Amino acid sequence: MSNETNWLKDLPPFQPDEDPQRAERVQTRVLQKLDEPVESEEIAMKPKMTFHRIRPLIFAAAAVAVAGSSLLVGCGEDEYQKTGKIGSTLKLMGAFKLESASLNSVSSSSTLTCKFNLKGTSKLGLPIGPANFQVEVTPKDSSKTVTTYHANNTDGTGGVSLSKSDNYLEKDETLETELKVTNISVADGDTIQVKFWPRPQASEGTQAYTRAFCTWKMTVDSTVTTGNTYLK
């Protein structure tokens, strides 16, 4: 019985949301194991009970183990959601550094400028463009709503652009680029989150990688006037 269950320990951990193909491979492996012949068909304590009768229990245990790996990540820090601040290098399918960030004013029509150094470390190239980025402004006043700025928005919050893009950032290739968000409304004490998705879409065209992203957080502060940054 112990030899029949050792294979469960060899199953590699994975995230079903992150890699659906890997989930399918694990399920296939489980089914193959269940179809393999058993050396001893009889269980000593219950002579008439054959091993195949408890195989559904083994399958259920495998399913719980598979699901559990995802649940454990959800309970703690998510390894696919990296966070930092201005100057931080976040590693997720690459090494991405927010070198600097600044506002030209603290007003309802400001411009946010972020300088990035993006290095690819994935064997599969990364497409880098304005749509990889999203900027969220959370007002200090909790009665106000969060405003999201994205290049695809059509409601006046779509002023997101990059000075340089790359359709295929290869492994060990570096891209120096500048993110600009125009007509961004900010006030003292507001929190700005600049989010970056290394791979916004899977090759199948689904949003399978939307859970994997980097976030740089900063606070609007009108007293930080050196270089007109207004951020800390």
Interatomic CA distance for residues 223 and 152, integer angstroms: 33
Nearest to 116 by CA among 86, 90, 96: 96
Instruction: Please compute the mean of the pLDDT values over residues 215-222 and round it to a whole number.
Output: 97
User: pLDDT-derived band of residue 47, with 50, 70 and 90 as boundaries?
Assistant: very low
User: pLDDT-derived band of residue 209, with 50, 70 and 90 as boundaries?
Assistant: low
**Average pLDDT of every residue of the chain:** 77
Interatomic CA distance for residues 231 and 223, integer angstroms: 9
Say if residue 175's pLDDT is above 90: yes
Look-up of token digits 């951020």: 231
According to the model, what pLDDT value does residue 78 have? Answer: 73
Say if residue 176's pLDDT is above 60: yes
Instruction: Please compute the mean of the pLDDT values over residues 82-102 and round it to a whole number.
Output: 97
| Cβ–Cβ < 8 Å for 82, 90 | yes
Angle at 113 between CA 174 and CA 151, to 5 degrees: 80
Q: Tell me: the pLDDT tens digits for 10-42?
A: 545 544 445 556 656 655 564 555 455 444 433
**Percentage of residues in the chain having pLDDT higher than 90:** 56
More confident residue, 187 or 202: 187
Say if residue 95's pLDDT is above 70: yes
Interatomic CA distance for residues 213 and 83, integer angstroms: 9
According to the model, what pLDDT value does residue 28 have? Answer: 57
pLDDT-wise least confident of 32-46, 80-94, 123-137, 163-177: 32-46
- How big is the chain, counted in residues? 232
Q: What structural domains and CATH numbers belong to the chain?
A: 2-75 (no CATH), 81-228 (2.60.40.1240)
Interatomic CA distance for residues 78 and 116, integer angstroms: 23
Q: Tell me: the pLDDT tens digits for 108-120?
A: 999 999 999 999 9
According to the model, what pLDDT value does residue 34 have? Answer: 45
Token couple for 76 = 């703690």
Say if residue 51's pLDDT is above 90: no
Look-up of token digits 């489980």: 30
Say if residue 50's pLDDT is above 50: no
User: pLDDT-derived band of residue 69, with 50, 70 and 90 as boundaries?
Assistant: very low
Interatomic CA distance for residues 207 and 92, integer angstroms: 17
What residues have CB less than 8 Å from 138, skipping those under 6 apart?
146, 190, 191, 192, 193
Rg (CA), the chain: 25
Token couple for 189 = 């004490």
According to the model, what pLDDT value does residue 31 have? Answer: 52
According to the model, what pLDDT value does residue 205 have? Answer: 47
According to the model, what pLDDT value does residue 14 have? Answer: 44
User: pLDDT-derived band of residue 7, with 50, 70 and 90 as boundaries?
Assistant: very low
